[in-house]
Structure 1
């Protein structure tokens, strides 16, 4: 029999607001950091590409380290919850420092960018990974976990849209023509709100379900479980591909409107159509109940592909109605995909527990690993291709660069959706559910 619901609405909302808090900063990085570095801060696209490469290499280690730290944490607050308290303030401080433009030489500014961006990447993982790792400990009710995941993504997606739409107007408002000042004051505002929301999560969520006998296993046993956890391996690849697609599209949006259409003022309007992601998120509970989580996510990928195909047609015809329609439909699909990510990771954590290893920190690290790797590789690809095509900031672009912008914004995401769909087809949801329900799997890790 399904367990009764254990959380109340205060806890559910507080849990959801944790993702809103992180996205106030994360969406700034996803959508505007590349533009900030090239057109405001003063770095070349090749320098930014190398920075993103270095950051992604470190992210491989950071996600694992934070996951291991969670699994090795013994505190009166649990394993994941204390990370909200310990790392909230340092996270916000580094977020602000990342958008500071110091009066240094070019080399000094490059060093500053490395220190602040790499530091922020580590701290983002420290406050974001616990959101995923704590989920399966909040309730034993599978439907309740789905609802909690949807609430989380609803708030997270809402804030992503708010940041995407209002960042440039806020930069203009605070900066009065000075984009350096505008970006700094905008991230300062977002950072203060983020700090309050993260601390609020710490005070209102509770870790209820943990098995001490399997909660702190030797790393050798954990790794043995990981390589046998097929659902976790597959969803890890899907998450990376999703964020790679998102990063490439989001970071190219402002370049497309600024240099191809010569209508930078349309960026907030274009981003406002991503509000449709909330439609997809809100559909998850009902659709997944009918289709299951795997087929619901596959449906989301298919819808996103259709929207991207319409967007591609709009890119080449310059018909705004077609372009915005494509963004709208694509965003509905994205809502279905991203809203299921933390829920399906929670399933892989429960699957691991059925194998005798409760390692929610390590298993949840795939989410932040995918986010960081997707963001970084996407930014690296975009910056490097721009460099190869001869991009020059704040000038009319050559034909090669204009073509590259269109390829990034339209064609690369189309190919990635196809790859994402193919990978998810391998996911064995039936085996996962039967294993979790029985509480055992074969083989059990000894």
Structure 2
């Protein structure tokens, strides 16, 4: 009787128990440090490697990103479906084994992307397509389970926000180290080609180590039984449920905006520092201060979400981001101004990146409440499907724009080319940040109050279902 009363009080007040230790949070953060050591090399430097080292035309190089990322998007959906329908779940859990076993293949494929053989242009393009598509598929196998784990680690809303902040901190630390350390390693060698190979090798090894440390320090608290084998009809219902999940649809749309803007800026800043500022060391300063500012937003996001809806904090971050980038287009003519204004922009972006993983976990609960179907892997992979599309956009647009404005590698650029680089760096992201505010305001339906009501209702449903399942057993005992 006492346990029933406690459960009822918990449901009434939405006080889901706190299940995470500090070790779990740090372990999850380190996992995303490893993810970024392995993943960010492609987003930051691969386009520049293709155009300035391998000698691929910028438009052709951009097509590699477009095709490979569209492929990755479908790979995410396939991996999510596979994970949700796994039946032979061992003692390591439903998600953790993927983090362990995918690490080394992922590292080897990363090295292959920055080790293009001296083929013809056609041969180099074929190598680029195959290597990057295989890398993306392997990354899906590693990253979809990693992101899908949050609902199994905790059901406490505030704790999910905290865990998302830790993950964002790990992600941005990995990104900061990649931005600060990678190019100095590259330029320390007599040829940039050799420098790229050594730098990628170092980050690949560190990435594997971080993923294995993460595997050892995170756990799945809520272990669901292996699901029954779904029929095609049931799978169709699951996919239809995704389309009815309004928060998921809205969050996916805004991530196309924000994530494409973020990744495009990362790809273009190499060109901005070299050709507009004529100071390649500016990129290290940019990485240290601007990515460092994300840690500030990550640190204060849990406090903000205690006082405001996550939706409001998300829009506030985009407003800061847009204002700083508009100013940057006109004023970032020195290393100091670029670093200062980009730091403010990344402060705003930090709110969105911190909250994405908490919001997607909320979408899992909403989906179960709305349709009766709970599918962490499918929801997360649908979300990452749109993030991969945003990465395709971020890789495709710079190459096309650079070709249109007459960019020539390793040469003094024309005024048209310089204006194109400046616009890519600031205007695109400012427009996307404003568009995000509009979508979140009009289309994202979950407020904190509504989310708590949904969780409370789900808890009551589960208790009712459990009671109904026990009734036949009680009847048998009575007989």
TM-score (norm 2): 0.87
What displacement does 1:138 show?
0.5
Query: 2 CA distance for matches of 1:123 and 1:337?
Result: 26
Kindly indicate whether residue 392 of structure 2 is the aligned counterpart of residue 373 of structure 1.
Answer: no
Query: 1 CA distance for matches of 2:324 and 2:460?
Result: 39
Query: 2 CA distance for matches of 1:308 and 1:333?
Result: 11
What displacement does 1:401 show?
1.2
The residue that corresponds to 1:207 in the other structure is 220
The residue that corresponds to 1:118 in the other structure is 133
Question: Aligned to 2:306, which of 281, 289, 292?
Answer: 289
The residue that corresponds to 1:185 in the other structure is 198
Question: Aligned to 1:97, which of 102, 112, 135?
Answer: 112
Whether contact under 8 Å (1:349, 1:359) holds in the other structure is yes
What displacement does 1:322 show?
2.9
The residue that corresponds to 2:20 in the other structure is 7
Question: Aligned to 1:234, which of 241, 250, 253?
Answer: 250
What displacement does 1:338 show?
0.2
Q: Deviations over 1:301-320 (max 9, x none)?
A: 111112212212223xx244
What displacement does 1:296 show?
0.8
Whether contact under 8 Å (1:23, 1:156) holds in the other structure is yes
Query: 1 CA distance for matches of 2:140 and 2:460?
Result: 30
Structure 1 window deviating more from structure 2 (151-160 vs 429-438): it is: 429-438
Whether contact under 8 Å (2:407, 2:417) holds in the other structure is yes
Whether contact under 8 Å (1:101, 1:180) holds in the other structure is no
The residue that corresponds to 1:38 in the other structure is 51
What displacement does 1:323 show?
2.5
Kindly indicate whether residue 422 of structure 2 is the aligned counterpart of residue 406 of structure 1.
Answer: yes
Q: Which runs of 5+ in 2 are unaligned?
A: 1-9, 462-479
Query: 1 CA distance for matches of 2:393 and 2:83?
Result: 26
Q: CA RMSD in A?
A: 1.9
What displacement does 1:433 show?
3.6
Whether contact under 8 Å (1:249, 1:409) holds in the other structure is yes
The residue that corresponds to 1:52 in the other structure is 65
Structure 1 window deviating more from structure 2 (262-271 vs 116-125): it is: 262-271
1:104 match: secondary structure: coil
Kindly indicate whether residue 319 of structure 2 is the aligned counterpart of residue 306 of structure 1.
Answer: no
Q: Which runs of 5+ in 1 are unaligned?
A: none
Whether contact under 8 Å (2:76, 2:140) holds in the other structure is yes
Query: 1 CA distance for matches of 2:460 and 2:269?
Result: 45
Q: For the structure 1 residues 101 and 59, does the alpha-carbon distance in structure 2 shift closer, same or farther, using more than 3 Å as the test?
A: closer
Kindly indicate whether residue 277 of structure 2 is the aligned counterpart of residue 261 of structure 1.
Answer: yes
The residue that corresponds to 1:329 in the other structure is 344
What displacement does 1:345 show?
0.4
Q: Deviations over 1:73-94 (max 9, x none)?
A: 2311332222112311111110
Structure 1 window deviating more from structure 2 (37-46 vs 81-90): it is: 81-90
Question: Aligned to 1:108, which of 115, 120, 123?
Answer: 123
Whether contact under 8 Å (1:310, 1:322) holds in the other structure is no
The residue that corresponds to 1:159 in the other structure is 174
Q: For the structure 1 residues 312 and 216, does the alpha-carbon distance in structure 2 shift closer, same or farther, using more than 3 Å as the test?
A: farther
What displacement does 1:331 show?
1.1
Whether contact under 8 Å (1:66, 1:126) holds in the other structure is yes
Q: In the comparison of the two structures, how many residue pairs are matched? A: 438
Kindly indicate whether residue 162 of structure 2 is the aligned counterpart of residue 147 of structure 1.
Answer: yes
Q: Deviations over 1:8-45 (max 9, x none)?
A: 22222111111110101222222211111101121110
Structure 1 window deviating more from structure 2 (227-236 vs 393-402): it is: 393-402
What displacement does 1:441 show?
12
Query: 1 CA distance for matches of 2:322 and 2:454?
Result: 32
Kindly indicate whether residue 33 of structure 2 is the aligned counterpart of residue 20 of structure 1.
Answer: yes
What displacement does 1:208 show?
2.2
What displacement does 1:261 show?
2.4
Kindly indicate whether residue 296 of structure 2 is the aligned counterpart of residue 279 of structure 1.
Answer: yes
Kindly indicate whether residue 103 of structure 2 is the aligned counterpart of residue 88 of structure 1.
Answer: yes
Kindly indicate whether residue 427 of structure 2 is the aligned counterpart of residue 391 of structure 1.
Answer: no
Kindly indicate whether residue 375 of structure 2 is the aligned counterpart of residue 356 of structure 1.
Answer: no
The residue that corresponds to 1:72 in the other structure is 85
Query: 2 CA distance for matches of 1:282 and 1:385?
Result: 36
